[in-house]
Structure 1
Amino acid sequence: MEQKKSNRLHSLDALRGFDMFFIMGGAGLLGALSQIWSNPVTDWLAIQMQHAEWDGFQHHDIIFPLFLFIAGISFPFSLANKLAKNETKFQIQKDIFRRGIILFLLGILYNNGLNFDFPHMRYMSVLGRIGLAWMFGALIYTDFKQRARLIWIATILVGYYLLIAFVPAPDAPAGASNFSPQGNFAGWIDRILLFGTWAGKYQDPEGILSTIPAIATALLGMQAGRFIKWETDKVTPAKKALYLLLIGIALVIVGQLWGELMPINKKLWSSSFVCFVGGLGFIHIALFYYVIDVLNFKKWSFFFTVIGMNSITIYLAQRIIGFTKASEFFSKGFIAIVPDYLNSFVSSIFYIGVCWYFLYFLYKHKIFLKV
């Protein structure tokens, strides 16, 4: 039985803000530590603030899928609110479709869509993938019962693995692996169907076929949200956090084991990658949920909550508004008087500060961009 009431999950806002923090200058801030004090730890941390070139996983590779996972977590709560208002299934799915399309269009806008240079425009994007993957995941969630949802996740992941593992790109060079940039089937689909420009050489990292396993990422998030929202006397909130943690660890192990057959790869959004980052998503929400919503230890998370309440706003605003110039205006004098090795660190602090106070202004005036 699922809860009839829906209270805001504070840990979800904080986790969303924690995730977005790395895009809002946090990655640059942590990366700059190695310039201040170079040692194996800070040098490793600087590497983690970059994407893996192809196969493999670094911390920066979790930011995008974690955001999609978080979008999935929130859906069972919003669905319950709509059902409480007696909205019909048609109304709910119409709203799901509308949100997915708006996010896709915002992604085009982010990629300079207003230039109207259609032949050279990039049509796929981070927001576009979030919109499409979340949309199809939400439609599956509303159309099918729990067991069928799990079957959908397994079918998507196994089917995608079999397709990539055993169907080479028809134009692959001799000897190219099915998991290589030139030899994978997903890249070939992009090369023959995806017009405009891409973000990659052989395929778009947010391409057509690789969006399908991203649906499983959204569905995994929805499973986490459903479990958190589930109301039962048999499972306390503390036990929920523990079970989420154990599920996360299990998925991480599955992802690593599957990675022996199909490498963990963000650009391919491989099935092993979905399991691995899905497991990390479960672990993240387990920890945030336990500390913030179970232990009620919230004050420390306010900084991240301000970001999380307007995450799409800051993602788009960094593209549109001159935060860099504003931060340079405030930091120029400080940068001039500190040693050169502190320049990047100081610059990152001011950039984060300008962005955060912009979001704080919106937060104080209860201005939130909702899609």
Structure 2
Amino acid sequence: MQQTSTAASEPALAQPAPVRRLKSLDALRGFDMFWIAGGEEIFYVLAKTTGWAWAAFMAQQFTHVEWNGFRPYDCIFPLFLFMAGVSTPFAVGSRLERGVPKGELARKMITRGLILVLLGIIYNNGILVKTLSETRFGSVLGRIGLAGMCGQLIYLYFPNPKVQYAWFAGLLLAYWAMMKLIPVPGCGAGLLTIDCSLAGYIDRSIMPGRLYLKVHDPEGLFSTLPAIGTALLGIFSGQLLKSEGRTANRGQKTLWLVLGGLSCLVLGYSWGLVFPINKNLWTSSFVLVAGGWSVLMLALFYWIIDVKNVSGWAFFFTVIGMNSILIYIAGEFIDFEYAAKFFFEGILSFFAEPVRAVGAIVGLLAVKWAFLYILYTKKVFLRV
């Protein structure tokens, strides 16, 4: 699950970390990836082994809503895409200021997007070649790649913020209109079910291979259109944080982020009354709700780390955030569980079942973090 700052658009492996980085963004990216890497398993295991009501409640919050609705875990993926947008004004903007031609930047954006699509296909299907019908082409990384790429191209070729806002509003309104008004053969218009949504029908018609839910893919092509809006929300936030002049005060920037996040939530939950909040369909209301929470989380991390300069606690997450894509795909090729059992199984055998179960998850996370920390000390980072 996107997304780097100053070197975000240059494909490279094992390159030094950029000097200019938004510390809060690295920490927030690491916080997001912590849950993707297995942090949510702590609540699952606690709920299963203890039966504690609070653990069961938290475990439920770290599951996806089956169709309509929103839980905190539904924000994990869009937050990652949102942060890819936040980094854009720092990464792309600095290159524009140095006079790098737009054509060169566009080629790098497209290359990065296609690399992420390819990595997503490999993550879903492994490196062994499968038949076309067995291959799933939609993926989390693919959506980050395509939506992030389109958002960056809009930022590059439409630098006027008012035009960017028009793109944002136009994408969300157009998606709403198409989903509600265009009829689906055998179903009619406006049905937002797994079998009858326009997004599912278009993906079944044009996407090769298999869809994740057979008749629908939550990372399909058509629902990538509103996902561009998620990336644009990140770009708007990044532009604010990078801005100078009257908005140079960091405290004021934090306030603007909070107001923007709250506005998105009000609009999103209101829109959800007529266009349900749905992650699988990536509805326009979902873009605003997930985006609103993402902006508020960015505001919190920015205020604590960059405004108040209280950053020591964030080092744990920064180590993860600096190699977020690597740890996302590494589990498919590295047996972290074997290493965790080797180091911790003997010690945990002396404890009762709940402690053993939670300790196993903590041990697995510790092994993953140690792996990333070694790479961090060696300044080895996977940049796409």
Q: TM-score, normalised by structure 1?
A: 0.94
CA distance in 2, matches of 1:79, 1:234: 20
* 1:158-173 to 2 correspondences below 5 Å: 158-172=173-187
CA distance in 2, matches of 1:85, 1:319: 39
- Determine if contact 2:278/2:286 at 8 Å carries over to the other structure: yes
Q: Which moved more, 1:162-171 or 1:135-144?
A: 162-171
- Determine if contact 1:133/1:218 at 8 Å carries over to the other structure: yes
How far has the Cα of 1:243 moved from its partner? 1.1
1:125 matched to 2:154? The reply is no
Q: Which moved more, 1:57-66 or 1:76-85?
A: 76-85
Match of 1:81 in 2: 94
- Determine if contact 1:168/1:184 at 8 Å carries over to the other structure: no
1:67 matched to 2:80? The reply is yes
How far has the Cα of 1:331 moved from its partner? 2.6
How far has the Cα of 1:249 moved from its partner? 1.0
Match of 1:219 in 2: 232
How far has the Cα of 1:116 moved from its partner? 1.1
How far has the Cα of 1:233 moved from its partner? 3.9
Q: Which runs of at least 4 in structure 1 moved beyond 3 Å after TM superposition?
A: 35-40
1:106 matched to 2:119? The reply is yes
- Determine if contact 1:35/1:342 at 8 Å carries over to the other structure: no
Deviations 1:176-204 (A, max 9, x none): 96111111000001111112122113211
Q: Which runs of 5+ in 1 are unaligned?
A: 1-5
1:137 matched to 2:165? The reply is no
**Which structure carries more relative contact order (alpha carbon 8 Å, separation 6+)?**
2
1:43 matched to 2:53? The reply is no
Describe the SS at the equivalent of 1:206.
coil
Match of 1:3 in 2: none
- Determine if contact 2:240/2:247 at 8 Å carries over to the other structure: no
How far has the Cα of 1:234 moved from its partner? 5.0
How far has the Cα of 1:58 moved from its partner? 1.5
- Determine if contact 2:46/2:52 at 8 Å carries over to the other structure: no
Pair 1:309–1:248, CA change in 2 (3 A): same
Pair 1:299–1:168, CA change in 2 (3 A): same
Output the amino acid matched with 1:65.
Answer: P
Q: Which moved more, 1:33-42 or 1:302-311?
A: 33-42
Match of 1:97 in 2: 110
RMSD: 1.6
CA distance in 2, matches of 1:99, 1:93: 10
Which of 167, 192, 203 lines up with 1:179 in the alignment? 192
How far has the Cα of 1:327 moved from its partner? 1.4
Q: TM-score, normalised by structure 2?
A: 0.91
* 1:1-371 to 2 correspondences below 5 Å: 7-35=20-48, 37-119=50-132, 120-144=134-158, 145-172=160-187, 178-371=191-384
Describe the SS at the equivalent of 2:251.
helix
- Determine if contact 1:113/1:121 at 8 Å carries over to the other structure: no
Describe the SS at the equivalent of 1:199.
coil
Identical-residue share of aligned pairs (%): 43
How far has the Cα of 1:37 moved from its partner? 4.6
Pair 1:78–1:355, CA change in 2 (3 A): same
Describe the SS at the equivalent of 2:127.
helix
Output the amino acid matched with 2:249.
Answer: T
- Determine if contact 1:292/1:298 at 8 Å carries over to the other structure: yes
